[in-house]
Amino acid sequence: MMPVSFLKAMAKRALRIAATADLHYAKHSRGKMQEAFAEISQSADVLLLCGDLTEYGLAEEAVELAADIRSSMRIPCIGVIGNHDYESGQPDAVAKILDETGVTMLNGEAVEIAGVGFAGICGFGGGFGRRMLNAWGEPLIKEFVQESISHAIRLEQALVKLQTERRIVVLHYSPIRATLQGEDPEIYPFLGSSRLEEPINRFKVTTVFHGHAHNGALDGTTSTGIPVYNVSAPALHKSGKPYRIVEL
């Protein structure tokens, strides 16, 4: 719990948001982000972890990341899980370990920090624009599309709860095509979905952060001009640091 005076002071000035994704912590990754977390603690007010926090979605892997967060992170931290965190069928165990370390893990929920609202969810694939996959034909296709729709609805439900002037969306999958530029076009439909873009535009979100696009472009905008940042660490690495800081 932050002291009220600290929160009031932060609400008056720009919030420095650090963001990263696709850390893919494995069983012996301890130390991997320690230096970056210490730097972030000095230069940002909040850190967003945009999914694929573990390699195979194992509790042991989450424990490695939790240890680095505990030893080096000194600012509030918000996270969502990614598809890799689902791999072993225990995404809730991964999220719980990080939650217990002090990371606010969002799965269709919202949280407010220093007067800024954050709505987060993993998201899902399905493709973009008029080429988006529709719920038609085989039951499995309908199920796939339903999952995509469900993530968009839960994002909307999280956004409804936020009364703040500034609203940030935290995702793993991309809501737009532009930040996927650099990935093979064949996999675009598995990297995100326009269904996530609709509530973002409608709720006039301030900024969106996502991961998952390891080879994607760093910057894009939604169809209404809302900035979208791909903060996948492998993509960011090319420009120096495995994280990005955006001032809002």
Per-residue interface string for the shown chain with Fe ion, residues 9-48, x marking contact by CB under 5 A: -------------x--------------------------
Taking the mean position of all CA atoms in its chain, how far away is CA 162? 17
What is residue 68's three-state secondary structure?
helix
Between 37 and 124, CB nearer to Fe ion: 124
Stretch that binds Fe ion, among 30-38, 72-80, 115-123, 208-216 (CB under 5 A): 208-216
Among 82, 91, 127, 192, binds Fe ion (CB under 5 A): 82
Q: Minimum distance from CB of 53 to Fe ion (Å)?
A: 9
Among 54, 83, 104, 193, binds Fe ion (CB under 5 A): 83
Per-residue interface string for the shown chain with Fe ion, residues 108-147, x marking contact by CB under 5 A: ----------------------------------------
Q: Minimum distance from CB of 92 to Fe ion (Å)?
A: 18
Among 167, 177, 212, 244, binds Fe ion (CB under 5 A): 212
- Residue 85 interacts with Fe ion (CB under 5 A): yes or no: no
Cβ atoms < 10 Å from Cβ of 98: 23
Q: Is-contact 94 81, C-beta < 8 A?
A: yes
What is residue 28's three-state secondary structure?
coil
Residue 147 backbone dihedrals phi, psi, to 5 degrees: -65, -40
Between 187 and 248, CB nearer to Fe ion: 187
Q: Minimum distance from CB of 58 to Fe ion (Å)?
A: 15
Distance, CA of 40 to CA of 187 (rounded, Å): 32
Among 17, 19, 44, 52, binds Fe ion (CB under 5 A): 52
Distance, CA of 168 to CA of 117 (rounded, Å): 6
Between 15 and 50, CB nearer to Fe ion: 50
Q: Is-contact 16 243, C-beta < 8 A?
A: no
Contact residues toward Fe ion (CB under 5 A) are 22, 52, 82-83, 212
